[in-house]
Structure 1
Amino acid sequence: MRLHQLDVTAFGPFGGSQGVDFDDLSAAGLFLLHGPTGAGKTSVLDAVCYALYGSVPGARQSGQGMALRSDHAAVGTRTEVRLELTVAGRRLEVTRQPPWERPKLRGKGTTVDKAQTWLREYDAGAGTWKDLSRSHQEVGEEITHLLGMSREQFCQVVLLPQGDFARFLRADAEARGKLLGRLFDTRRFAEVEKRLAERRRTTEARVREGDATLLADAHRMQQAAGDAMEPPELAPGEPGLAEAVLTAAAVARSTARELLAVADCRLTAAESAQAAAERDLAAARELDRLQRRFGEARERAARLAERADAHRTAQARMERARKAEGVAPALELRDAADAEHRRAAAAEERARAPLSQDLADAGAAGLAAAARRAAEELGGLDSARRAERRLAELVGERTRLDRQERVDEDVLHEAESWLADWETTRTALQAHVDSAQEAATRAEQLAVQRDPAQRRLNAARQRDQYAADTEDAQRQALASAEQAVEARAHWLDLKEQRLNGIAAELAEGLTEGAPCAVCGATEHPDPARRIAGHVDREAEEHALAAYQAADERRAVAERRLGTVREALAAATAEAGDAPTARLTEEAEELERRYARARASASGLHAAQEELRRAEHEREQRIAAQQQAAVRAASRVGNRERLESERSALEEELTRARGTADSVAARAAELGLRAARLTEAADAARVAEDTAQRLKDADARLADAAFRAGFDTPRDAAAALLDDTAHRELQRRLDAFDAEEAAVRAVLTEADTAAAARRPPAGLTAAEHTAADAGRRLREASSARDAAARRCAELDRLSAHATTSVRRLAPLREEHGRVARLASLAAGTSADNERRMRLESYVLAARLEQVAAAATARLQRMSSGRYTLVHSDDRTGRGRSGLGLHVVDAWTGRERDTATLSGGETFFASLALALGLADVVTDEAGGVRLDTLFIDEGFGSLDDQTLDEVLDVLDALRERDRSVGIVSHVADLRRRIHAQLEVVKGRSGSVLRQRGDG
């Protein structure tokens, strides 16, 4: 990577635009970057880093975004950094603009513009620049990919901070490990250690979980086996647990099978005894049954003999009932005819009751003739019914005409009264509309005057406020200017006092035998001494800082005063010279007038609507008045026509009603008479028919009773049995016959008679014996089932435990392998002789490479005296790997780098920094770094050592490499001709460049 051109604008301490031509500076190989403290030497390096990565190094990262902008920059100048460089054979230009707060283009105040980034590449063939990207992310990824380094690595290998490496030389192994870990990014090896430790914990937890499951199976087997098994007294994770569990399971299974064989034998014996007892009990029960059967048959035979007379009487009753069944149809026919005749007679009596006395003895034919005459008279009343309905309609029409006449009279009266006052009403409403219209016009005129008056009032208030702020700002600006002058005078006084006593400061740095930095003499016979009140460098710098702070406060106060004065002028131009109180009164009076006009104008629409409604109502009332007059004229003719038709209908109805109140009442009377006569005629015919059928039924019944052998029909009816009595009598007869046959069959059985002759059966003793045998069988069966279940449960648990042991075998093997690797990587394993962690081992290898690369330059700087070597000696907690020693060729002894003197530490740290830059560059992908910067530390070197160091740095120019030295040492300005000077001033710092020559 080679830098060509750097341009900065409004960046850091640079208020304007500044440029650095690195091609010119790099022509000599070495160039010097110098300037007073606070001028901005570091800001040049920050600009390079910001252009490449969009952020600045290390602790200065807090100064990002708008904080990168120079306080000396003009208001409209945007901060920008542009860097032109060659990397990986490509010439690129990177431009970055951080976000900045600028004045708004319109109006007052400020707005923030977003950050901008451009990446361009030079096309040598076309001789033009080609745009590549304007995306922050894409540009960052492209630069990082081409450089092959992160921002931290770039700052470490290109911007070499000597102070960090001096501390690195004196640091312990842990501090060196942190720095090397950041540079070489060994987090992946630490992640490997962490991953191995996590896998060890994971596999250990899985093994412990499997052992816990195995122990749970062992405890369940103990519960199943009872006292036949003792669980292993081992915890999860202890060796031998699986073998102990499987051994205990095998012993438990063997014991359970023996107990099962014993239970089988006991069960077989109990089954034999129970079968014999069941056979004896069955024989005793059969003998007892036969004996009881014979005794019960003898008792049933005795009871049958007692019921023999009643049985013969029931047989005779059943025979008489069978004969009466032949007469039953005639009896049923006669009863039905009698019932029918009584119903018909009752109906005829009810139908004749409402009839008049002259029809009480009339027959069915006379009643039917009277009903026909009544129906004919009813049919002649249809015309009268229509006339009656029409008369009702005429009455309704006359009523409607009277009601309409009253309504029309009310409408005419109301319309005449309302129209009489119309002119007065219209005049009042029109006046209301005109008044509201005038108020609306007045409100519009006042509204135009309101905004200017309010703006002028607001401007007057701001004018008063800015006037007070201007006086305050003038006082602050004057006070700040006085303080700045006093601080500058104090600083110049202290500076002059320090220059007067500078010899004492230089004398304090003299060492006997060492050359003087001023005259070069090695003898110092009379060095200067500090006098009372001597001003040292710290006091001078403190006074300078106080002056700079006071000057900054003065500038801020002056800027504030200018801002307030501009605002006061703008407010005065807007408000004029009128007093604020008068403008306030005018604005308030204008506002009150405007409010009154708005209130008066708010009723305009309502007044217009009310006038339109009144006009519409007038039109409606005039139309209603005309329509009422037309309807009154038509009602006169309708009344005459209705009166003529009503008289004709009343005459016709008088004739049709007769003695009734109305035609409807007469029709109802005739309809009821016809219905009653018809009903009575029908009832008389039915009564005559049923009387004849009853007479025929009596004759047939007397003939049937005589043929069945009964003296009278009444005797035959008495002998009949209903269905329930017949079934009950037949059931008693059948039951007696069945019982007699069953008793006879039992008494004639050979087995029953033989059993009756034997002694009584011993049933109770046989039942007790069978119950005891059944109980012993159940106990033996339960014991056998329990033993079988125990064997099955132990077999299942043993199989599960065996499967668990087989499944745990590869887990145990994996855990052992992972645990050994994790212990080895963590440095706790006995196989790790030096007890080095994996990350430390990798860092030790990197440190060994750095020491080898640094030694090549250190030997030249020290004239072959010193060599850096890596040490594996153990340090704290018994671990090793990051020791760094120096070998002194003059003594031949190896010692710690912390024992080096100040000058030796400088060139040792410089050599270490250069060597580390080479190793990190190779680690990052071998990108060639053609431009390097080395920061401070040269003031501690003598002339000879300084020459040797510069020779080493000059050797870096091989293959066109350039090195920039950042230093305050005045001697370097004489030795290095190519220089970049940073000069600070009140308006910001500027750059002065001088090439070789």
Structure 2
Amino acid sequence: MRLHRLTVTAFGPFGATQHVDFDTLSAAGLFLLHGPTGAGKTSVLDAVCYALYGAVPGARESGPTLRSDHAAPGTATEVRLEFTAGGRRLEITRRPEHYRPKKRGEGLTRERAVSELREWRPGSDRWDGLSRSHQEIGEEILQLIGMSRDQFCQVVLLPQGEFARFLRAEDSARGKLLGKLFDTGRFAAVEEHLAELRRASEKQVAAADAQLTGLAHRMAQAAGRGPDADALPLPAGTGTPVPRQRAGARTARTADRQQAPAGDDLAEAVLSWAAVARTVAREQRDIAAVALETADQASRAAQQHAQDVHELAGLQQQFAEARQRAATLEAQRPEHDRVRTRLERARAAAPVTLALGLRDSAAHAHQEALAAEQDARRPLPPEHATATTAQLAALERSLREELGELAAARRTEERAAALTAERAALSSEAAADAAALAAAEDWLAGWDERRAAAEQRVEAAHAAATRAARLEGETEPARRRLAAARERDRLTGGLSAAEAALLAAREAAATAREHWLGLRERRLRGVAAELADALADGAPCPVCGATGHPAPARPEPGHVEAADEDRAFEDVQRADDARQRAERALDALRDDLARARAEAGDATTAELADAAEETDRALRQARAAAADAPAAREALARAEQDRAGHHDARQAARVRTAARDRRLTAVDDELRELATELTRARGGAGSVAARAALLERRAALVAAATEAARAATDTADALRTAGTHLAEAARHAGFATPRDAAEAALPDSGQQALQERFDAWQREESATAARLADARTAEAARRPPADPAAADARFAAADARLQQARTRDHAARTRCADLDRLSAEALADVRALAPLRTEHRRVTALANLAAGTSAHNERKMRLESYVLAARLEQVAAAATVRLRHLSDGRYTLVHSDARSGTRRSGLGLHVVDAWTGRERDTSTLSGGETFFVSLSLALGLADVVTEEAGGVRLDTLFIDEGFGSLDEQTLDEVLDVLDTLRERDRAVGIVSHVADLRRRIPAQLQVLKGRTGSTIRHRTAGA
């Protein structure tokens, strides 16, 4: 890869646009990049890295921080690099994300990151765009250069300070750097994968052991605590069963054996103990079954005896209770007679009680009627308060007659009210007609302006329709050009892919043909062996005709058969077909692109899209305006109709006004005539209706008082009749007075309660007599007293023994079933655990070997460290070639895999001093020695990484700092070594402050800093 030109704008310390011409600087082979501290020398290298990878070296992040503080607000940050890689000249442009002032209003707006990759086409002398995708450009750069960003920064931008630290670093720090450069993460992934497999298998074995241990505990619980349970090898306080004869030996295992699970002795001990436990459990089950049957028979006999004793005790208790109840009933006989007498008197007083209720109801009704009469007379005038019923009735009739005389006056009043309402309506209509007349006059006054506006709207719609017709003819050509432009852009983007596909097809065809020709040549060289294979003793040779074959040719290693040649030729034909298809596809694409370009012209897609959009917008506006034509014509016709309507409305309003004036005069005359008649009828009231309402209220009060007086008279008569009936009922029932009958009376509920007491006594007397006369009860009473408590105790003891026997039988059966089931599970687990243990031992051995912890790994070196050690050996060998020249053959850089103390080995670096013949650590080197050793190491690492990346040629290198620690002679030697890097047109850039280098290196790139930002100046030998 060779750099040609670099352009930076608003990047880092560079506020304005700066150019770097690497072609001019590389002409001398060696150039110097110098300038004051902080001027931006490193920013030039950052720009190169950012252009290629979209990020700067080190921990600095790409983004807004890359923008120069000296840049003008409207200037965009941009880096453009022109370079050659893989025989292709490319130009890459990147603009990081940054903020710029808004075009409208105040504040800032975010500009997204932009990337663009172009390629120079020598045949057409132009740049062709390849991609604008960040991801596609990154993949393209990675394929061309063959190195990641870290590798590029380490190989092309050689930072001497980092390699000085690399020399003195620990093995782990060297491992991190080498791991990034040589991408050995896959070996670390292998280590982690093996470790993960080991952990997974260990978990599986531990889980299986834990499951077997759990089964052992469950079997011990199922078997119960007995002499045989102690034989199970379960240590107290732990969850893992371990055979006691192996517990002491386990502490003496090695590191590898300590990580392995327990042996098969656990399974053997568990299965053996389970067999013994099952035998003991079956014997206990048979014993429990016999004991259960005996206890069941004894329990049934005790239960029957207890039932017989309880029955005898019940009969004896019934006889005793009957005798006691008979004596109690005899003592209660006087009370029984008293209840019977009281019930008979209550039944006799029942009719008298009914008459007494009727008399009380009549008295209550008479009191209510008297109170109502007083309330009705209270609103009457004083002169009518004591009037009789007849007088009140006469007064009511007089008031009703006066109300009838007011009916004609009411009709007159209603007529007057109707005339008054009519007059008000006529006045309202007069006001409405006056307003309508004024509105019509106003509208007709502005008629000429309305007509002119409507006619102008119609003319504008007609003009818009004409304009729309013209634009419709322009729209379709604009759309066709826009579609052609888009097709042109799409085909242009696919042209590079088609050319690349054709190039790949041609290369594949050439490779296939070359392979076929090679096979053909090898087969021709070995055709003698094919002929010799067909020879037979006595048969003539097809070449010389001899019948003897003393030394026939034998096939050489790698002999090509005819079938191999045929298959290679078929591959050639397929590759040629693919090439022809790619050529046809490219030709078709170019034809389509030519047609699209002819149709679209030179205008860009954006310009054509804007023009088409503008035409469409004008067409939409014209169509919208033309669509108003029907509405405009309708509005003009409607205005004409409105004019005629307003004219007719004005005439109608004038006619209605004249007729209304005549009607108002007639209404006023009639109202004056009715007013005199109504004054007489009202008689001092506000209106005839008010006078009538007053008379209606008086008549209603008199009517109510009359009705109340009549009700009081009627209730007094009813009270006297009820008293007479009550006296007769008491005499017929045998009571001296109604009061005596009332005292003897009882309510229905009281009579029912006495009757129930009488009936209950009689029923109990009969039942007691029947119970004393029962033969079984009398016979039981003559026998000795029964003892139910003793019988129950006997049955309870027998039943308890039965329950205990059932419990022992159930426990024994359950124990046998559980032991059988758990033993089967344990046997299945033991069979499944065996392959798991074997796999775990195999995986553990591999994981420990890769991790460097196995006894077979003598140097305790991890797999990744082993691979990196091989790479470090290559780096040390490549560095030694230049180190011997720089040190006059004194020093040799070697890789050491020796262990230091307890640390692992693998990534050590030593120097061999030829003057002393001894090997020593790189940390003992002086400052100047450290510089050229680290320079040699950096150049050697660059060579190895380049070879690792596929041998990509790097024509431009940069070496950063470290020259200030060299004396003049060593500096000359270093420059001589750097001169060797310029072989085959390679350019080397030195970044340094050393003033002597400015004198020794004519080609220079100077970076100057200032208040407005840094600037770049070129200096060459001729300048």
> Structure 1 283/686 Cα, relative in aligned 2: closer, same or farther at 3 Å?
closer
Retained in 1: the 8 A contact 2:55–2:61?
Answer: no
Contact kept in structure 2, 1:263 and 1:784, CA below 8 Å? yes
* Separation of aligned partners in 1, 2:312 and 2:986: 133
2:234 to 232, 235, 250: 232
CA distance in 1, matches of 2:824, 2:76: 82
Q: Shift of residue 93 of structure 1?
A: 2.1
Equivalent position of 2:396 in the other structure: 378
Whichever residue aligns with residue 879 of structure 1, its letter is: R
CA contact under 8 A between 1:80 and 1:95: conserved in structure 2? yes
2:147 to 146, 149, 154: 149
Q: Where does 1:11-22 land on structure 2 (aligned, <5 Å)?
A: 19-22=19-22
Q: Provide the C-alpha distance between the structure 1 equivalents of 2:358 and 2:100, rounded to a whole number of angstroms.
A: 126
Deviations 1:126-153 (A, max 9, x none): 3222455677777666545543333331
Please list the CA deviations of residues 233-291 of structure 1 after superposition, one character each: whole Å capped at 9, or x if unmatched. Answer: 25659625666666666666655555444444333322222223333444455566677
> What is the CA–CA distance in structure 1 between the aligned matches of 2:154 and 2:201, rounded to whole Å?
41
The aligned runs of 1:648-659 (5 Å cut-off) are none
Answer yes or no: is 1:3 the counterpart of 2:27.
Answer: no
Aligned to 2:1019: 992
In structure 2, list runs of 5 or more residues that go unmatched: 241-259, 374-387, 410-671, 735-744
Listed as ranges, the matches of 1:303-452 within 5 Å are: 378-384=396-402
Q: 1:282 to 1:918 in 2, by over 3 A?
A: same
In the alignment, what sits opposite 1:850?
875
TM-score by length of 1: 0.52
What are the superposed Cα offsets for residues 580-631 of structure 1, whole Å, 9 maximum, x if unpaired?
xxxxxxxxxxxxxxxxxxxxxxxxxxxxxxxxxxxxxxxxxxxxxxxxxxxx
Contact residue 162 and residue 906 of structure 1 kept, 8 A: yes
Q: Secondary structure at the match of 1:227?
A: coil
Does the CA-based 8 Å contact 2:894-2:910 persist in structure 1?
yes
- Per-residue Cα deviation, 1:954-994 (whole angstroms, up to 9, x for no partner): 5x41xx54445667999999998x83364869996622124
Provide the C-alpha distance between the structure 1 equivalents of 2:995 and 2:371, rounded to a whole number of angstroms: 160
Secondary structure class of the residue paired with 2:81: strand
Give the secondary-structure state (helix, strand or coil) at the position aligned to 1:877. coil
Kindly provide the amino acid, as one letter, of the partner of residue 801 in structure 2.
R
Aligned match of 1:444: none
Aligned to 1:31: 30
Residues 462-518 of structure 1 deviation map (CA, whole Å, 9 limit, x = unaligned) = xxxxxxxxxxxxxxxxxxxxxxxxxxxxxxxxxxxxxxxxxxxxxxxxxxxxxxxxx
Asked if structure 1 preserves the Cα contact closer than 8 Å seen for 2:399 and 2:698, the reply is: no
Count the aligned residue pairs: 690
Q: 1:686 to 1:244 in 2, by over 3 A?
A: same
Q: Give, in angstroms, the shift of residue 761 of structure 1.
A: 6.1
Alignment of 1:697-716 (within 5 A): none
How does 1:61-76 map onto structure 2 within 5 Å? 61=60
Q: Does the 8 A contact of 2:202 with 2:261 survive in 1?
A: no
Give structure 1 stretches of 5+ with no counterpart. 356-369, 392-635, 703-716
Tell me which amino acid in the other structure corresponds to 1:831.
H
Task: Check conservation: 1:19, 1:991, Cα contact below 8 A.
Answer: no
User: Measured at CA, do residues 248 and 924 of structure 1 come closer, stay the same or move farther in structure 2, by a change above 3 Å?
Assistant: farther
- Judged with a 3 Å threshold, the aligned counterparts in structure 2 of structure 1 residues 940 and 186 are, in CA distance, closer, same or farther, namely farther
Alignment partners' CA distance in 2, 1:696 and 1:171 = 138
Cross-structure match for 2:89: 91
CA distance in 1, matches of 2:679, 2:856: 141
In structure 1, distance between residues paired with 2:677 and 2:299: 124
Indicate conservation of the 8 Å contact 1:824/1:831, yes or no. yes
Distance 1:58 1:738, change over 3 A: closer
Measure the CA separation in 1 of the matches of 2:756 and 2:18: 140
Q: Specify the alignment match of 1:533 in structure 2.
A: none
Equivalent residue of 2:906, what SS?
A: coil
Structure 1 vs Structure 2 CA RMSD: 6.8
* Cα distance in 2 for residues equivalent to 1:832 and 1:785: 61
Q: CA deviation at 1:193?
A: 4.0
Q: 1:826 aligns with which of 843, 847, 851?
A: 851
CA deviation after TM superposition for structure 1 residue 837, in Å:
1.0
User: Could you list the per-position Cα deviations for residues 30-66 of structure 1 after superposition, in whole angstroms to 9, with x for gaps in the alignment?
Assistant: 334366776876565444334434555448x499977
* Structure 1 CA distance for aligned equivalents of residues 364 and 76 of structure 2: 131
Shift of 1:828: 0.8
Counterparts in 2 of 1:180 and 1:384: CA distance versus 1, 3 Å? same
The whole-number CA distance in structure 1 between the counterparts of 2:353 and 2:86 is 138
- Offset of 1:820 from its aligned partner? 3.5
Match of 2:1004 in 1: 980
Q: In structure 1, the residue corresponding to 2:1019 is in which secondary structure?
A: strand
Shift of 1:332: 9.1
Q: Distance in 2 between matches of 1:111 and 1:767?
A: 101
Aligned to 1:122: 120
Q: Judging changes above 3 Å, is the alpha-carbon distance between structure 1 residues 668 and 187 closer, same or farther for their aligned structure 2 residues? A: same
Return the letter of the residue paired with 2:1020.
Q
Partner AA of 1:382 in structure 2: R
Determine which of 898, 908, 920 is the counterpart of 2:945: 920
Q: For the structure 1 residues 876 and 178, does the alpha-carbon distance in structure 2 shift closer, same or farther, using more than 3 Å as the test?
A: farther
> How many angstroms apart in 1 are the aligned matches of 2:330 and 2:840?
103
Paired residues of 1:885 and 1:894 also in contact (CA < 8 A) = yes
Distance of aligned partners of 1:756 and 1:371 in 2 relative to their CA distance in 1, 3 Å threshold: closer
Give the letter aligned to residue 32 of structure 2.
L
- In percent, how many aligned pairs have the same letter? 51
Q: 1:742 to 1:878 in 2, by over 3 A?
A: closer
Q: 2:957 aligns with which of 924, 928, 932?
A: 932
Say yes or no: does 1:268 pair with 2:256: no
CA contact (8 A) 1:5 1:84 kept: yes
Q: Is the 8 A contact 1:11 1:81 kept in 2?
A: yes
Q: Which residue of 2 aligns with 1:455?
A: none
In the alignment, residue 127 of structure 1 is paired with which amino acid? Answer: D
Q: What letter corresponds to residue 1003 of structure 2 in structure 1? A: Q
What amino acid does structure 1 have at the position aligned with 2:852?
A: G
Q: Does the C-alpha gap of structure 1 residues 273 and 990 become closer, same or farther in structure 2, counting only changes over 3 Å?
A: same
Q: Could you say if the C-alpha distance between residues 372 and 185 of structure 1 is closer, same or farther in structure 2, counting changes exceeding 3 Å?
A: same
Q: CA deviation at 1:827?
A: 0.7
Aligned residue type for 2:127: W
Could you report, residue by residue, the CA deviation over 1:724-752 in whole angstroms, capped at 9, with x for unpaired residues? 777776776676666656655x34x7x97
Counterpart of 2:1019, as a letter, is: R
Alignment pair present for 1:49 and 2:49? yes
Q: 1:740 to 1:126 in 2, by over 3 A?
A: same
Q: How many Å separate the matches in 2 of 1:723 and 1:34?
A: 133
Give 1:233-632 correspondences, 5 Å limit.
233=235, 239=262, 255=280, 258-285=283-310, 378-384=396-402
1:3 alignment partner AA: L
Correspondence for 1:590: none
Letter in 2 for 1:980: Q
Find out whether 1:182 has 2:200 as its counterpart. Answer: no
For residue 175 of structure 2, what is the amino acid of its counterpart? G
Native 8 Å contact 1:344 1:690 kept in 2: no
The alpha-carbon deviation at position 85 of structure 1 amounts to 0.3
* Distance in 2 between residues matched to 1:902 and 1:993, nearest whole Å: 32
- Does the C-alpha gap of structure 1 residues 756 and 928 become closer, same or farther in structure 2, counting only changes over 3 Å? same
- Aligned equivalents of 2:994, 2:684: Cα separation in 1: 150
8 Å Cα contact 2:151-2:181 kept in structure 1: yes
| 1:330-371 superposed Cα distances (whole Å, 9 cap, x missing partner) | x9999979997998899899999999xxxxxxxxxxxxxx98
CA contact (8 A) 1:983 1:992 kept: no
Q: Distance in 1 between matches of 2:187 and 2:695?
A: 125
Give the equivalent residue in structure 1 for 2:981. Answer: 953
